[in-house]
Chains A and B, each alone.
Chain A
Amino acid sequence: GAVVSQHPSWVICKSGTSVKIECRSLDFQATTMFWYRQFPKQSLMLMATSNEGSKATYEQGVEKDKFLINHASLTLSTLTVTSAHPEDSSFYICSAKHEYEQYFGPGTRLTVT
């Protein structure tokens, strides 16, 4: 139980385009989901907390207009990287909260060329 999926698992896009990443809780409802970013050989950095039906809460230094988060249902949150640039290339991981625990998705590798 408590499975979280992400789609796509990897994506390559051209600089200036937008990319949407989906995070789904498959067997539970998640009022709260989280988005993390991970650079090579580094830990996870929390980008934002997404609450169903309300605006996301962004961590300091994260551009909310660049990283658009939508949590329209209890099983789906999306992260859209707008006008992507090479420096946005990274590994993005989502998690969904169930009771006191966060369950992590498998991650999405974004490469911006």
Chain B
Amino acid sequence: AQSVTQLGSHVSVSEGALVLLRCNYSSSVPPYLFWYVQYPNQGLQLLLKYTTGATLVKGINGFEAEFKKSETSFHLTKPSAHMSDAAEYFCAVSSITGNQFYFGTGTSLTVIP
């Protein structure tokens, strides 16, 4: 079974500072990779995903992530944090069929004004 590790259950950044949320996965076969954002009492919103091709993936709201196979990582970044970025972020990996979906434990992002 695959596993997803998100280092840091809580991350705080100042407004305008770089956001870096870490995600590592364990898989012998390159999976599909996703980042989701969740605001309180809401469902998951897809930020970006990697399936094949270019390893640097750009998503919505200025976020991007880079798939590094050698490091089995898919870290999420944003150059400049906004107050509206404060939320819970989940990394997930999927089998190529989509039938198995594994979530990380989530990272709560706080943006300090």
A interface, CB within 8 angstroms of B: 6, 32, 34, 41-44, 46, 49, 91, 93, 95, 97-102, 104-107, 109
B interface, CB within 8 angstroms of A: 32, 34, 36, 41-44, 49, 51, 90, 94, 96-99, 101, 103-106, 108
On whether the beta carbons of B98 and A99 are closer than 8 Å, the reply is: yes
On whether the beta carbons of B98 and A100 are closer than 8 Å, the reply is: yes
On whether the beta carbons of A43 and B98 are closer than 8 Å, the reply is: no
On whether the beta carbons of A43 and B105 are closer than 8 Å, the reply is: yes
Classify the interface of chain A: helix, strand, loop or mixed: strand
On whether the beta carbons of A97 and B104 are closer than 8 Å, the reply is: no
Give, as a whole number of angstroms, the nearest-CB distance from A34 to chain B.
Answer: 7
On whether the beta carbons of B105 and A97 are closer than 8 Å, the reply is: no
- Given the complex of chains A and B, what is the CA–CA distance between A106 and B42 in angstroms? 6
Question: Inside 8 A of B44's CB, which chain A residues have their CB?
Answer: 44, 93, 104
